[in-house]
Structure 1
Amino acid sequence: MIKIKGSGQRMKGNARFKDGGFEQVPHSIHNYLKFRLITGNDLNVYIFLYQYDNVNYGYAFPNTKQIALETGLSDKTVKACTKNLENVGLIRKGKSSYQPNKNVYYVDLPLQVEELLRQVPDAIEKYQEREVKFKREAKEEKERLTVYLVEKEERDTSEVSSRTVPPLIKTEEEPKYMVTKGS
């Protein structure tokens, strides 16, 4: 396993990023993950396309192999991700006017949660089901921990009380000391 020592510097509020050197991603993208409309791989591709979105042209134009290389994903995964991102309205795919056989990607802002849920109302229901399950499992885990701690305390207490002090070993005959005159 590779072990890398991090920078140890906080990213948020770091002066190094005040004048660029990073891309801001809207908080609302989290809702797409939360409601399982996109995966972590989809987000990886979305951020990559966002970073390569050329302001002068109005779109990003990397090919699938470049996206795969830069994101660490396979070509097949990249194709699935771009298709899903297109399906959920985060990107629009088009053809380059300069090279008709080349795809271009228009990277759109994520919807705000209200609009997103209006368009996919079953997503909130599924999320709420997962939330109820999560809370139930957390409660059960807490109860198991409480039972474990009580049982452990009882075991520890009974072990201490059941310990007996071993009897002193006595020899049959006490040693005799010789007392001499003048000593």
Structure 2
Amino acid sequence: MSSTKTIIKGTGKIGKGKGVLQDNFVQIPMELFDYLQLELITRTDITVYIRLCDFYNEEYGYAFPTIPQLMLATRIGSKTTIHKSIEKLEEVGLIRKSKTNRGNNTYVIYKPLSKSELYDQVPDKVEQFKEFVDKVLKMSGDDKQRFQIYQQNKQAQEQKEQAIQAKQIEPTVETFNNEIDEANDDMENLSFKEWARLARGVK
């Protein structure tokens, strides 16, 4: 089963320099992530592209790392994976692979297309991405709804537990009130002599 290739006409603008921002940070084109979102390239392909930029030679105008050098630079342990990434990057117009007279590979590195330019070239991929966005938003909405239901159930459970505790307390309060009423009745039934004795502290 052969996979369908998506061929894109690139900018043709050569990306010059290693793109060092400062210290050990490397500046990369944000447009690469548009290619990634549309599944035109993979994260592995981006890694290979970045390392090719790092191997760029300003004097010659291209990069010429060997496959083993790219494997070491990307920590990708498969020659096949490196070759596939190079092929994919070439398909989408991000690099152009050539050979020198000695048979060594050279790579001219191109800047990625802008988002609007890229979207114009691959409308089918754009539609697929929109479907993916809708799916993610639906998942997010479902998660929010499930959380709301969880909160409602939790609140209902807490109210139920509070009601149970209130019922357990009510008999105790009622018993206490009954005892007070009985004591009041006893006091009312005391004779004058008994009141006098209680007042003097005599039992």
Deviation at 1:22, TM superposition (A): 3.9
Deviation at 1:160, TM superposition (A): 2.4
Alignment-mate amino acid for residue 63 of structure 2: A
- Aligned equivalent of 2:61: 58
Measure, in 2, the Cα distance between the counterparts of 1:18 and 1:69. 22
1:139 aligned to which of 118, 138, 141 = 141
2:122 aligned to which of 84, 100, 120 = 120
- Aligned equivalent of 1:110: 112
Deviation at 1:19, TM superposition (A): 5.7
Measure, in 1, the Cα distance between the counterparts of 2:98 and 2:113. 21
Question: Are residue 77 (structure 1) and residue 90 (structure 2) matched?
Answer: no
Distance 1:50 1:129, change over 3 A: same
Question: Are residue 91 (structure 1) and residue 124 (structure 2) matched?
Answer: no
RMSD across aligned positions (CA): 1.8
Task: Tell which has more relative contact order, 1 or 2 (C-alpha 8 A, sep 6+).
Answer: 2
The answer to whether the Cα contact below 8 Å between 2:97 and 2:107 also exists between their aligned partners in 1 is: yes
Secondary structure of the structure 1 residue equivalent to 2:52: helix
Considering fraction of residues, name the structure with more helix.
Answer: 2
Alignment-mate amino acid for residue 33 of structure 2: H
Secondary structure of the structure 2 residue equivalent to 1:27: coil
Distance 1:78 1:33, change over 3 A: same
Alignment-mate amino acid for residue 60 of structure 1: A
Kindly tell me the number of residue pairs found equivalent between the two proteins.
149
When Rg is computed on C-alpha atoms for both structures, the one with the higher figure is 2
After TM superposition, the score normalised by the length of structure 1 is 0.75
Measure, in 1, the Cα distance between the counterparts of 2:21 and 2:105. 33
Distance 1:160 1:19, change over 3 A: closer
Structure 2 unpaired stretches of 5+:
1-19, 173-203
Alignment-mate amino acid for residue 137 of structure 1: M
Deviation at 1:162, TM superposition (A): 1.1
Measure, in 2, the Cα distance between the counterparts of 1:19 and 1:158. 61
Deviation at 1:21, TM superposition (A): 4.7
Identical pairs, percent: 36
The answer to whether the Cα contact below 8 Å between 2:21 and 2:27 also exists between their aligned partners in 1 is: no
Deviation at 1:64, TM superposition (A): 1.1
Structure 1 unpaired stretches of 5+:
1-16, 168-183
Measure, in 2, the Cα distance between the counterparts of 1:19 and 1:37. 30
The answer to whether the Cα contact below 8 Å between 2:93 and 2:110 also exists between their aligned partners in 1 is: yes
Deviation at 1:124, TM superposition (A): 1.0
Question: Are residue 39 (structure 1) and residue 78 (structure 2) matched?
Answer: no
